[in-house]
Amino acid sequence: DAGVIQSPRHEVTEMGQEVTLRCKPISGHNSLFWYRQTMMRGLELLIYFNNNVPIDDSGMPEDRFSAKMPNASFSTLKIQPSEPRDSAVYFCASSLGQQETQYFGPGTRLLVL
Amino acid sequence: KQEVTQIPAALSVPEGENLVLNCSFTDSAIYNLQWFRQDPGKGLTSLLLIQSSQREQTSGRLNASLDKSSGRSTLYIAASQPGDSATYLCAVLGGGFKTIFGAGTRLFVKA
């Protein structure tokens, strides 16, 4: 099993640019989570999907952030326009069900200049 | 609003020592509690998951307990090794199936 796959692993962009982060969950998992980790705020849940449907996006910081899950094997997190305060590590995780063990990807380290 | 606190924030112990990491949460209406390990610059690795109906879970040298009524969980690590050095995070799955993480305990085991 390949585990949760995230791309890119590192992203450096300039303020105002669009950023798209990608995630492939573990095959067969029907819950997918996007998290953001910073030194100041720790790990925060941004949004999670169950059976490809967004269930709770209350953690999305503002309208500049959007997430989609067009099918069971792919999800994107988009930031448009990006700002320096968006610099963080973004993690994707998946689980068999909403109450099951979450498996994390390696993360995308984003730096917005 | 659920809040998760981990104490201590950092811990340094000599190799071979048994140790306990603490996690507390303010709302006892939880589905489960999960312990993770995070190595520097890496993702999170799940260690143990305790469902709300369970009292403890064990895996090798690790034992996690859950006391929902008091809002506490502990992670016990037996015979610590330098390879155990990492940050340990607890996460609570609560209302709305929302996961809330603690800030973590940074553990250093000296050889």
Q: Sheet holding B62-67: strands in order across?
A: B4-7, B19-25, B72-77, B62-67, B56-59
Chain A residues with beta carbon closer than 8 angstroms to that of B91 = 43, 102
Share of chain A above pLDDT 70, in %: 99
What pLDDT digit, counting tens, does each position of A6-37 carry?
999 999 999 999 999 999 999 999 999 999 99
What pLDDT digit, counting tens, does each position of B72-108 carry?
999 999 999 999 999 999 999 988 888 999 999 999 9
Question: Cα separation of B17 and B92, whole Å?
Answer: 27
- Out of A33, A50, A106, closest to residue B43 by CB: A106
> Which token pair is B108?
């250093």
Q: Give the helix/strand (H/E) hosting B96.
A: none
Question: Cα separation of B107 and B22, whole Å?
Answer: 12
- Out of B42, B89, B96, closest to residue A43 by CB: B89
Pairing of strands B10-14, B105-110: parallel
What pLDDT digit, counting tens, does each position of B63-76 carry?
999 999 999 999 99
Closest approach of chain B CAs to the CA of A29, in angstroms? 16
pLDDT over 90 (residue A2): no
What pLDDT digit, counting tens, does each position of B18-29 carry?
999 999 999 999
Question: How many inter-chain contacts (A to B, CB under 8 Å) are there?
Answer: 53
Residues 6+ apart with CB under 8 A from A15: A81, A82, A83, A84, A112, A113
Cα A67–chain centre separation = 8
pLDDT over 90 (residue A98): no
Share of chain A above pLDDT 90, in %: 90
What pLDDT digit, counting tens, does each position of A71-92 carry?
999 999 999 999 999 999 999 9
The answer to whether B97 contacts A56, with C-beta atoms less than 8 Å apart, is yes
> Which token pair is B65?
């307990």
Question: Cα separation of A4 and A109, whole Å?
Answer: 16
Which A residues in the span 22-81 are in contact with B, Cβ-Cβ below 8 Å? 33, 42-45, 48, 50, 55-56, 58
